[in-house]
Amino acid sequence: MSEMSYRTALVTGASSGLGRGLALWLGKRGVKVYAAARRLPRLEALAQEGKSLGATIEPVELDVSLADATLARVRELDEACGGLDLVVANAGVGFPTHARNFPWEDARKVIDVNVTGAVATLSAVLPRMVERNRGHLVGVSSLASCRGLPQNAAYSASKAFLDTFLESLRVDLHGTGVRVTCIRPGFVKTEITAGIQHPMPFLLEADPAVDRMGQAILRGDDVYGFPWPMARAVGMARWVPNALFDAVASKVL
């Protein structure tokens, strides 16, 4: 599927950060983008910016933590536009969840958005994509999914769920015209990382990160992690014995 094959796209979490950047990136390439998030004024400002760049971006007020409402709204959009070609589940939240003082309410928010919300977004029109024999599902995971990071049990686990969910979809859809891509960013300068106090190796600016994500989508990569030094290091960490990993990771934060 080439750039011109995408007529329509839905991007969640589009009011800021990577989602906002990706909505503009796609819009500038001729894709009609439904930009979804809770903060409608920000989406309206995004639509105006897109218009000045020749992009068509439609604001969609949406809270993905409300799964049933998300399913219904995404299906409405699919019907209104004659079929979504690309669905990007980008909306995500992250809060510290230290096991020694575990904050259930924060953990639940992470699960509601990063797990339940992502699955609702991706599965809403999946049967229709299969019937049409075309479409592309993209989930924005994280390199934090590869192992359980200290003080981030809920976040790391939520992204690990998304990784595995997308992999199973990809296997089931093999041989069809529906593609699945899992994107695993490392540290990127966004609102989410603005408050992080610990070191963030290989920190990327948002614009180059968005471009890498967009190119991976257009290539139809199965899995794309970046930046590559961080992705390689995290990949190697999978093979580190637990005793060593626990001893080192517990002292990182």
pLDDT digits (tens, 9 = 90+) for 150-184: 999 999 999 999 999 999 999 999 999 999 999 99
DSSP class of residue 102 equals -
* pLDDT the model gives residue 53: 95
For the stretch 13-33, what's the b/e string if a residue is b when 16 or more beta carbons lie within 10 angstroms of its beta carbon? bbbbbbbbbbbbbbbeeebbb
Domain around 61? 3-249
Strand partners, 157: none
Closest to 86 measured CA to CA, from 10, 3, 185, 159: 10
pLDDT of residue 192: 67
Indicate if the alpha-carbon torsion angle 198, 203, 207, 211 is positive or negative: negative
Contacts for 47 with CB less than 8 Å, ≥ 6 apart: 35, 57, 58, 59
Going by pLDDT thresholds of 50, 70 and 90, the confidence category of residue 97 is very high
Query: Mean of the per-residue pLDDT values for the chain?
Result: 92
CATH number at residue 234: 3.40.50.720
For the chain, the domain total comes to 1
Q: Model pTM?
A: 0.91
The candidate with the shortest Cα–Cα distance to 142, out of 121, 163, 112, is: 163
Hunting for tokens 């030094």 — which residue is that?
A: 229
Backbone angles phi, psi at 22, to 5 degrees: -70, -35
Average pLDDT over residues 55-82: 98
Cα–Cα distance for residue pair 87/137, rounded to 1 Å: 5
Percent of the chain with pLDDT over 70: 93
- Residue 173 CA, chain-centre distance (Å), reads 20
Distance between CA atoms of 139 and 142, rounded to whole angstroms?
A: 10
**pLDDT given at position 230:** 80
For residue range 190-229, what is the model confidence (pLDDT) as tens digits? 766 656 655 666 678 899 999 999 999 999 999 999 987 7
- Residues annotated as catalytic are 155
